[in-house]
């Protein structure tokens, strides 16, 4: 009597089996049956049959009819990075707890790809879109707007939709200050010994660089204007920046402000193959937190962005009625060297 690879049961199958009409079956199965004054006993019969035949709703059909899908999208620049992957992890938890289905995709920081990706998701009638670290948030906005899709920017702000971002200026200020203070008074850091590597021409980098300059000036009294080496968000370009620097000056600075963990990987590549002692005096500040990064052989002061708070705030905003686009700053946290913080995985149980 069992189905082998038989087609899945539909409300029409259950309709025949139960003797009720498809609409009644539908109402029973989607929970609106009380409102439709379906008899309790009828409902029970149908629910029993549904169970028996392993009925599951065809969500494409429902989505088509309702013109929303129950899918909630998260668009990341990339997956393979602890900042963004913790974003995904946190996001999933929130979406799941709302009974919807998370869909996480990446768009490679490519404006064109970002728009295409948004369009694809829209074609599936996703209900909401969380846009993380987009290179062109406003381009994505256009696409969403046209489709009437609720959306919100995270990590990098746009001008046309609400944004929830890290307080980059404060974070970078704290970080720069912590780097400088790390050198105490015996052998204080000189202005020309602290350099910033990484970042590109986006809002986050600009803020961080501004704070870096301001803090250097405030604490060290001066700020040579060659202190910043942009190198995009690419380990290899960052590597080349370090190599160029080293080539040119014969040594690395005593202290580094590194714009993101991705850029930090460029430093790793620079370290690879070179003697460890070369880096024994180095002090690094990194705008991003990576647990392994925190335990490198030299002091690494990190900034952890408050992903949980950002996602929470984003969910609040996205449900709200639309008002003039605003940007909300979430305070990040300074992380001392050799710290292993809890992350989103810690809420998962692992019983063995």
Q: Which positions touch DNA (CB under 7 A)?
A: 7-8, 10-12, 19-24, 26-27, 29-30, 32, 36-39, 41-42, 55, 57-58, 61-62, 64-67
DSSP string for 69-97: -SEEEEEES-SSSHHHHHHHHHHHHHHHH
Q: How many CA atoms lie within 13 A of 9 on its CB side?
A: 24
Smallest separation, CB 318 to DNA (Å): 21
Shortest separation between residue 53's beta carbon and DNA, angstroms: 11
Nearest 5°: CA angle at 132, between 128 and 136? 100
Which one of a copy of itself, DNA, none is in contact with 71 (Cβ closer than 5 to 8 A by kind)? a copy of itself
| C-beta closer to a copy of itself: residue 235 or 253 | 235
231 binds, among DNA, a copy of itself, none (CB under 5 to 8 A by kind): a copy of itself
Residues 6 or more apart whose Cβ sits within 8 Å of residue 121: 71, 73, 75, 103, 105, 129
214 binds, among a copy of itself, DNA, none (CB under 5 to 8 A by kind): none
Q: By C-beta, is 177 or 265 nearer to a copy of itself?
A: 265
Q: Out of a copy of itself, DNA, none, which partner does residue 36 contact, by CB within 5 to 8 A per kind?
A: DNA
- Taking the complex as a whole, how short is the minimal distance between the CB of residue 131 and DNA, in angstroms? 24
Residue pair 101/157 in contact by the 8 Å Cβ criterion: no
The least distance separating DNA from the CB of residue 117, rounded to whole angstroms, comes to: 19
Name the residue with tokens 């500040």: 285
Per-residue burial over 294-309, b = 16 or more CB atoms within 10 Å of its CB, e = otherwise: bebeebbbbbbbbbbb
Select 40 or 226, whichever has its Cβ closest to a copy of itself.
226
Which phi and psi (to 5°) does residue 105 adopt? Answer: -135, 160
């Amino acid at each position: 009597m069992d189905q082998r690879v038989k087609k899945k049961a539909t409300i029409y199958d259950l309709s025949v089996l139960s003797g009720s009409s498809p609409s009644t079956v539908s109402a029973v199965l989607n929970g609106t049956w009380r409102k439709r004054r379906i008899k309790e006993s009828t409902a029970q019969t149908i629910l029993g049959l549904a169970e028996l035949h392993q009925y599951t709703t065809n969500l494409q059909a429902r989505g088509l009819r309702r013109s929303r899908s129950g899918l909630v999208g998260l668009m990341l620049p990339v997956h393979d990075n602890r900042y963004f992957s913790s974003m995904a992890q946190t996001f999933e938890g929130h979406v799941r707890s709302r009974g919807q289905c998370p869909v996480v995709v990446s768009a490679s920081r490519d404006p064109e790809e970002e728009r295409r990706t948004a369009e694809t998701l829209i074609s599936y009638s996703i209900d909401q879109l969380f846009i993380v670290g987009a290179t062109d948030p406003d381009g994505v906005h256009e696409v969403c707007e046209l489709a009437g899709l609720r959306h919100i920017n995270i990590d990098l702000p746009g001008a046309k939709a609400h944004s929830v971002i890290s307080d980059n200026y404060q974070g970078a200020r704290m970080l720069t200050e912590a780097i400088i203070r790390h050198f105490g008074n015996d052998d204080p850091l000189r202005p020309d010994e602290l350099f910033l590597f990484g970042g590109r021409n986006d809002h986050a980098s600009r803020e961080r660089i501004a704070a870096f300059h301001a803090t250097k000036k405030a604490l060290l009294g001066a700020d040579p204007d060659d202190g910043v080496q942009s190198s995009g968000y690419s380990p290899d370009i960052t590597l080349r920046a370090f190599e160029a620097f080293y080539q040119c000056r014969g040594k690395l600075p005593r202290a580094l402000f590194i714009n993101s963990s991705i850029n930090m990987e460029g430093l790793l590549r620079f370290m690879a193959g070179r003697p460890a002692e070369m880096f024994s005096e180095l002090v690094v500040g990194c705008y991003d937190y990576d647990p392994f990064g925190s335990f490198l052989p030299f002091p690494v002061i990190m900034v952890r962005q408050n992903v949980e708070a950002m996602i929470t705030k984003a969910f609040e905003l996205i449900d709200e009625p639309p008002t003039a686009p605003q940007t909300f700053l979430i305070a990040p946290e300074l992380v001392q060297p050799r710290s292993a913080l809890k992350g989103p995985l810690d809420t998962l149980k692992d019983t063995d």
